[in-house]
C-alpha cells in the first residue's frame, strides 16, 4: 500500500513541479525511505532534508538510500518530530511526506506548522489515510457491541478548512484503494508489520473480544478479506 501511494504522490507532484520555487526540500516521516528514493531521483540537484521522529527509522532510511546508491552530498538526515516542532525560517521550496500526517497529535496543526516552513509560493504535498478507511472494521464492532479500537484517522474536510485559513491554497483528491487478505487476522498482522498497530487512544480489545471480531469478520468475508483504504492526496501552495 505505502509504495503504491508513494508513487502516486510523486506522480501528483508532476503538475506542480515547474511551480516549485528554488530552495531545499523537506521530507517529514521518511520511514524506511520509499518516498525518499523517488524524491532523490526526481530532484537530483536539490538539497533534500530527510527527517523522521524516530532515530531508528532515520538510520534504516539512510542505510536503504546508501544501498540504492542514491546518497549524495545533497541529501541530509535529521530527526524531526512534527508534534514538537516550531516553524523557523521559511526556507523550503517543497515540504513532502507520505503516510505520516495521520500519526501527528493533530494533523491540521502539524501540516499548518510544516507549511510555515515554505517560501512564498512553496508547495506542501502529502498523502494519508482518511477517516473513511476500514468501514467494515467499524461495522463489525458495532454489530458485536465491541469498542472500535482503530486509531481515529483525519477528517479531510476539517484539515482542508484549517489549512486554507493559514494562507495555503489547497488542491486535493481522494482515492479508495483496496487490499486483499486471506483472512482478517492477516490484515491485523499487516498493520503490525508496517508499524500501524500502536494505539493512539490506548484502547485495545481483550484476546476474547479480538477472537470474536476476527471470527465474525471471517464469516462475513466470503473467502477473501477486502480492506478499503481511503487515501487522501493533498497539495497546497503557500501564499
Ligand X SMILES: C[S@@+](CC[C@H](N)C(=O)[O-])C[C@H]1O[C@@H](n2cnc3c(N)ncnc32)[C@H](O)[C@@H]1O
Binding site for ligand X (CB under 6 A): 2, 6, 28-32, 34-35, 52-54, 57, 80-83, 98-100, 103-104
Closest distance of CB 55 from ligand X, Å = 9
- Give dist(CA 98, CA 31) in Å, integer: 9
First to last CA, the chain: 32
Residue nearest to ligand X (CB): 31
Q: What are phi and psi for residue 181, nearest 5 degrees?
A: -130, 155
For ligand X, the closer of residues 98 and 140 by Cβ is: 98
- Give dist(CA 156, CA 141) in Å, integer: 23
For ligand X, the closer of residues 56 and 206 by Cβ is: 56
Closest distance of CB 10 from ligand X, Å = 10
For ligand X, the closer of residues 53 and 213 by Cβ is: 53
- Give dist(CA 101, CA 104) in Å, integer: 5
Closest distance of CB 45 from ligand X, Å = 22
What DSSP designation does 35 have?
A: H
186-203 b/e (C-beta count within 10 Å ≥ 16 → b): ebbeebeeeebeeeeeee
For ligand X, the closer of residues 126 and 225 by Cβ is: 126
Closest distance of CB 218 from ligand X, Å = 26
On whether the CB atoms of residues 224 and 180 are closer than 8 A, the answer is yes
Closest distance of CB 103 from ligand X, Å = 4
For ligand X, the closer of residues 2 and 136 by Cβ is: 2
Amino acid at each position: 500500500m505505502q509504495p503504491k501511494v508513494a508513487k502516486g504522490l510523486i506522480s501528483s507532484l508532476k503538475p506542480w513541479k515547474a511551480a516549485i520555487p528554488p530552495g531545499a526540500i523537506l521530507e517529514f516521516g521518511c520511514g524506511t525511505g520509499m518516498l525518499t528514493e523517488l524524491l532523490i531521483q526526481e530532484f537530483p540537484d536539490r538539497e533534500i532534508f530527510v527527517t523522521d521522529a524516530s532515530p531508528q527509522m532515520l538510520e534504516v532510511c539512510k542505510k536503504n538510500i546508501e544501498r540504492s546508491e542514491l546518497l549524495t552530498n545533497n541529501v541530509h538526515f535529521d530527526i524531526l518530530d512534527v508534534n514538537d516542532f516550531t516553524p523557523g525560517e521559511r526556507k523550503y521550496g517543497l515540504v513532502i511526506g507520505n503516510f505520516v500526517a495521520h500519526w501527528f497529535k493533530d494533523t491540521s496543526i502539524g501540516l499548518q506548522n510544516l507549511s510555515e516552513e515554505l517560501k512564498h509560493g512553496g508547495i506542501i504535498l502529502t498523502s494519508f489515510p482518511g477517516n473513511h478507511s476500514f468501514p467494515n472494521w467499524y461495522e463489525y464492532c458495532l454489530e458485536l457491541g465491541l469498542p472500535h479500537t482503530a486509531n481515529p484517522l483525519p477528517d479531510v474536510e476539517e484539515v482542508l478548512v484549517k489549512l486554507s485559513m493559514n494562507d495555503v491554497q489547497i488542491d486535493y483528491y481522494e482515492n479508495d484503494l483496496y487490499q486483499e487478505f486471506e483472512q482478517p487476522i492477516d490484515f491485523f498482522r499487516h498493520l503490525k508489520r508496517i508499524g500501524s498497530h500502536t494505539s493512539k487512544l490506548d484502547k485495545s480489545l481483550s484476546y476474547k473480544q479480538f477472537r470474536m471480531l476476527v471470527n465474525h469478520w471471517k464469516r462475513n468475508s466470503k473467502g477473501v478479506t477486502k480492506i478499503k483504504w481511503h487515501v487522501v492526496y493533498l497539495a497546497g501552495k503557500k501564499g
